[in-house]
Structure 1
Amino acid sequence: MKKVLMVLTSHQHLENTDSKTGVWLGEFTEPYYTFLDNGFIVVLASPAGGEPPVDPMSKLVEHITASNRRFHEDPDAQRLFSNTLMLDTLEADSFDALFYPGGHGPLWDLARNAISGKLILDFLSAGKPVGTVCHGPAALLKAAALQPGLLRGKRITAFTNAEEMLTGRMDHIPYQLESALKELGADFHSATVPFTTHVETDGLLITGQNPLSSGPTARAVIQLLGAVGELGRVDPLP
């Protein structure tokens, strides 16, 4: 049975406001159940361990999804979510894939976390897929700092500057993720219409643009693992 490590943010504070952020709930629940329903074991971790903060906006009625409702009726999933493992206790050797949900939180902690950055590099060097969605690709910034040139020419996506502006949080974040990825040489692509599904796969790196891309990004990871199983190791990123 394949095992995926899902890394969640521990950060909840936005800048210049009393509003909070954290994990975007649907970006956790949709991939979680996608992996679970396809026979995966899912292990949850975060930089601080314990229960990650959840962005209050992701709990609003207009953002409730079928996977969110399933989560609220699933005590086992709630227990795992409330007791995420400390990120520094885990190694790539124990897993088949790595996955980062979003929420604005990763812009702060996962983008600067050396343990997370090294873990990404360990997965890639071992020929194992790394999936990220929405603001989850912020974790790639630290990996690229540890291995300069990592993202140069890589076809990826993430929450766009246009989407950031439409959320009204532009003044409450430290930087725009799309711009930061482009500055590192990433070949950035996105959907023509904001907030619609878009996924990019480049080698072992799978990125999704926004909340609606969460399930498709997880499915792309699963498909890539199937290809790895049939064809042998995929060439890791340089």
Structure 2
Amino acid sequence: MAPKVLVVLTSQDKIPANGHPTGWFLPEFAHPWEVLHQKVGLVIASPNGGEAPLDPGSIKMFEEDPVSTKFLKEQQSLWKNTIKLADALPRVSEFDALFYVGGHGPMYDLHYDPTSLALIQAFSAAKKPVSAVCHGPTVFLKATAESGEPLLSNATVTGFSNVEEDQAGMTSVMPYLLEDELNKVSGGGYVKADEPWAEKVVVSKTVDGAILITGQNPASGTAVGKEILVALGL
């Protein structure tokens, strides 16, 4: 039996501060999927279930990226028919790893979604790898172990940097800056690539001792997928 990975997408389709469309970011699902799909079973979930909103800006931005364009054309059923997170929660034992796709959407819903936080706690307590890319690591900020201790305590972690947020022109509409919050919750454990937008993936441990995989930005999606395979012994 191939291992199974639960992939979580945002259900948030607007930036509250300006009403602009948002959602999950195309290459951050397309590239890990490309690495994973022949070796593991993938189940896709979102807070609301049904269609998870794809950030239209990411389609335009990655229209020259063959992996993203092929995925967009051929795999729409993956994000148009997601299961509800609440339905995934009782099924944790079926899965071997958990992966959160980035995009600005997760900053608003998955950041504090109680079902998502319960899911992360359950995977971590069961010593199953938990992973996220770009803005995806926001899902770990409020996550705790069963002891109540922050899941990221003393972990090394990465995620979308302040410089990248500035260069994307989004800092003014963000409710918080991911780099600052990850650094705070981890106790100074945030790290990033030497240059903005360069690949950076960090493998660390949650306070429960589960493998924690985080990627900084869209360029890090492939490497996150590869580290998930390594964590699963594939």
1:218 is aligned with what amino acid?
G
> Under a length normalisation based on structure 1, what TM-score does the superposition of the two structures give?
0.89
Q: Given the alignment, which residue of 80, 83, 95 partners 2:81?
A: 83
* 1:100 match: 100
Is 1:36 the counterpart of 2:34 in the alignment?
Answer: no
Please tell me the residue identity of whatever aligns with 1:25: L
- Look up the equivalent residue of 2:220 and give its one-letter code: S
In structure 2, relative to structure 1, the CA distance for the partners of 1:48 and 1:224 (3 Å cut) is same
- Helix, strand or coil: the match of 1:188? coil
Q: Deviations over 1:174-199 (max 9, x none)?
A: 11011111221250000010000000
Q: Is the 8 A contact 2:62 2:69 kept in 1?
A: no
Which of 134-143 and 62-71 deviates more? 62-71
Q: Tell me if the contact between 1:26 and 1:68 (Cα under 8 Å) persists in the aligned partners.
A: yes
The more displaced of 62-71 and 125-134 is: 62-71
| Helix, strand or coil at the partner of 1:70 | helix
Percent identity, aligned pairs only, is 39
Q: Which residue of 1 aligns with 2:161?
A: 160
Residue number among 200, 208, 212 corresponding to 2:215 in the alignment: 208
Structure 2 CA distance for partners of 1:61 and 1:135, relative to 1, 3 Å: closer
> How far did residue 34 of structure 1 move?
1.2
> Do the aligned partners of 1:15 and 1:171 also contact (CA within 8 Å) in 2?
no
- Using the alignment, how far apart are the partners of 1:110 and 1:197 within structure 2? 24
Give the aligned CA root-mean-square deviation in angstroms. 1.6
Q: 1:230 is matched with which residue?
A: none
Correspondence 1:1-238 to 2 at 5 A: 1-37=2-38, 39-62=39-62, 64-74=64-74, 77-90=75-88, 91-144=91-144, 147-184=148-185, 185-203=187-205, 204-226=211-233
Q: Residue by residue, what CA displacement relative to the aligned partner does 1:36-59 show, whole Å, maximum 9, x if unpaired?
A: 03x211100000001111111101
Other structure's SS at 2:143 match = helix
* d(CA) in 2 for partners of 1:14, 1:70: 27
Deviations for 1:61-91, whole angstroms, at most 9, x for unmatched residues?
55542222222342xx311210000000013
Q: Return the alpha-carbon distance in structure 2 between the equivalents of residues 17 and 177 of structure 1.
A: 19
Tell me the amino acid that sits aligned with residue 80 of structure 2: S
* Cα pair distance change 1:62/1:25, threshold 3 Å: closer
Give the aligned residue type for 1:192: D
How far off is 1:16 after superposition? 2.9
Q: For 2:204, give the aligned amino acid.
A: D
Contact 2:143/2:150 (<8 A) preserved: no
Q: Contact conserved, 1:96 with 1:128, CA < 8 A, in 2?
A: yes
Q: Distance in 2 between matches of 1:33 and 1:62?
A: 15
Residues 168 and 86 of structure 1, relative CA distance in 2, 3 Å threshold: same
Alignment length (residue pairs): 224
Deviations 1:125-177 (A, max 9, x none): 11110110000001102313973332121001000111101100111111101
- Call closer, same or farther: CA 1:56–1:101 in 2, change over 3 Å: same
- Matching residue's letter, 2:181: A
Compare 184-193 and 62-71 and name the one that shifted more: 62-71
Counterpart for residue 208 of structure 2: none
Q: Which has the higher helix share?
A: 1
What TM-score comes out, normalization by structure 2 length? 0.91
**Aligned residues of 2:137 and 2:214 also touching (Cα < 8 A):** yes
Q: Which amino acid aligns with 2:82?
A: T
| Residue 122 (structure 1) shift | 0.9
